[in-house]
Amino acid sequence: MQANRSQLHSPSGTGGSENTSASQCVHTRLTEGSCLHSGDVHIQMNSVPKECAENPNSRNIRSGVHSCAHGCVHSRLRSHSHSEARQPVDTAIESGEHGSSSFSEFRYLFKWLQKSLPYILILGVKLVMQHITGISLGIGLLTTFMYANKSIVNQVFLRERSSKIQCAWLLVFLAGSSVLIYYTFHSQSLYYSLIFLNPTLDHLSFWEVLWTVGITDFILKFLFMGLKCLILLVPSFIMPFKSKGYWYMLLEELCQYYRTFVPIPVWFRYLISYGEFDNVTRWSLGILLALFYLILKFLDFFGHLKTFRQVLQIFFTRPSYGVAASKRQCADVDDICSICQAEFQKPILLICQHIFCEECITLLFNREKTCPLCRTVISDHINKWKDGATSSHLQIY
């Protein structure tokens, strides 16, 4: 019985040892496979151990391991492909969240403005009531300038057909507006700024500086626009239209040149007054700011000086765009000017052999450089301001 029992247990012991060796083989292969990195596909083609090859049960276990390895490979490939497909979706979700957050911030800002609108209106009305005089005067000066500037340009464009009554009315209107402003604020002596003096103000604050400089700039514009009206009133037989254009250009350049330096005393006094305190640091800072302002104005001075010299050269040399055309040359083009579509008046033959009226071509070259027919360059520069216009730039510094 013992022998039989040993014989009966011997196969199972053999099978147990075989199963143990097979499990060790599987554990070895799984341990070797654990060295694989995520995303790598590695197929082991090495020869199996001898005990695993001789054991028939190990084949079944090996086939299971092989199928498990294949399953792991496929699962890794699927997980890798799913992760790659999930990346664009995550990016789109993140961009959507960013867009929604920015939209929510904009909506919050809009709600805040909507709630704060009544308070902003209250503060705005308070500021307007505090500075109602300055705002009303500024609007009046601006509308006066725009009306007078447009009227003068129209009268210059009409040339001999311009209305002398309209020009006289503009002259009286501009002069009356200037006198009325200075009479209304005579206690402040704002007219001192016209001759590089400081007005009689007790305390020169920032808003008072803007007030003084702004009114002075508009008054200077009105003054030079009045001089242009005087030129318009001069008869054509005394001063031809071409000569008037050069005078308009010279007056405008003089106006801009003068307006550049008028604000210097007012701003210099304001910057120096910052250092009137007992504090040495503030006094030194006021001096430095004033000196820096003067340096910038001198640089601006040299820039305007170059332009002014060019204008003076044009004014005194009076460059011609061509020579007088003969009657035969005018007859070749049927005695008709291509600009005004009328008979020639003082025809001029350009270097490109095209003929125009002297006044027509002079008016054209105020804003152009080339011939209107062949586009040949006739003038090297554009003669600005010869149409009687005034610069709308506000010189506040």
Residue 391 reports pLDDT greater than 80: yes
Q: Could you tell me what percent of the chain has a pLDDT over 90?
A: 21
**Looking at residue 28, what is its pLDDT?**
37
Closest alpha carbon to 336 in 355, 358, 360: 355
Between helices 264-273 and 206-233, what is the axis angle to 10°? 180
The more confident residue out of 117 and 277 is: 117
Q: What is the tens place of the pLDDT at every residue in 267-324?
A: 998 888 755 556 777 778 888 988 999 999 988 888 888 888 878 887 787 766 777 7
C-alpha to C-alpha distances, 242 to 248, 291, 324, nearest whole angstrom: 10, 44, 15
- First vs last C-alpha separation in the chain: 125
What's the mean per-residue pLDDT of the chain?
A: 74
Residue 39 reports pLDDT greater than 60: no
- Give dist(CA 148, CA 204) in Å, integer: 32
**Looking at residue 27, what is its pLDDT?**
40
C-alpha to C-alpha distances, 255 to 203, 262, 387, 395, nearest whole angstrom: 29, 11, 15, 11
Q: CB–CB of 150/161 below 8 Å?
A: no
Pairing of strands 355-357, 347-350: antiparallel
Averaged pLDDT for residues 100-118:
80
Averaged pLDDT for residues 207-229:
93
> Among the ranges 16-25, 185-194, 208-217, 306-315, which has the highest mean pLDDT value?
208-217
**Looking at residue 176, what is its pLDDT?**
94
pLDDT band at 30 (very low <50, low <70, confident <90, very high): very low
Q: Identify the burial level of 150 via C-beta atoms within 10 angstroms of its C-beta, where 0-12 means exposed, 13-18 middle and 19 or more buried.
A: exposed
Residue 32 reports pLDDT greater than 70: no
* The model's pTM: 0.65
Averaged pLDDT for residues 359-388:
75
Q: What is the tens place of the pLDDT at every residue in 191-208?
A: 888 888 888 877 778 888
The more confident residue out of 61 and 150 is: 150
Q: Could you tell me what percent of the chain has a pLDDT over 70?
A: 70
Q: CB–CB of 390/378 below 8 Å?
A: no
**Looking at residue 100, what is its pLDDT?**
64
The more confident residue out of 250 and 272 is: 250
Spell out the long-range contacts of 244-249 with Cβ–Cβ below 8 A and sequence spacing 24 or more: 244/156, 245/362, 245/363, 245/366, 245/383, 245/386, 245/387, 246/314, 246/315, 246/318, 246/386, 248/156, 248/385, 248/386, 248/387, 248/388, 249/311, 249/314, 249/315, 249/383, 249/384, 249/385, 249/386
**Looking at residue 98, what is its pLDDT?**
56
- Give dist(CA 212, CA 214) in Å, integer: 6
Residue 240 reports pLDDT greater than 80: yes
Residue 177 reports pLDDT greater than 90: yes
Q: Which residues pair with 370 in a beta bridge?
A: 377
Residue 151 reports pLDDT greater than 70: yes
Q: Kindly report which listed range (96-100, 118-122, 177-181, 244-248) carries the lowest average pLDDT score.
A: 96-100
- Give dist(CA 190, CA 201) in Å, integer: 9
pLDDT band at 255 (very low <50, low <70, confident <90, very high): very high
Helix (H/G/I), strand (E/B), else coil: 201: coil
**Looking at residue 341, what is its pLDDT?**
75
Residue 150 reports pLDDT greater than 70: yes
- Give dist(CA 162, CA 357) in Å, integer: 19
- Give dist(CA 357, CA 4) in Å, integer: 141
Chain CA centroid to CA 217, Å = 26
- Give dist(CA 258, CA 159) in Å, integer: 28
**Looking at residue 381, what is its pLDDT?**
62
Averaged pLDDT for residues 172-192:
91
pLDDT band at 227 (very low <50, low <70, confident <90, very high): very high
Averaged pLDDT for residues 16-32:
40
Q: CB–CB of 270/204 below 8 Å?
A: yes
Residue 22 reports pLDDT greater than 70: no
Which token pair is 354? 């095209």
Q: What is the tens place of the pLDDT at every residue in 125-148?
A: 988 888 888 889 999 999 999 999
Residue 166 reports pLDDT greater than 50: yes
Helix (H/G/I), strand (E/B), else coil: 348: strand
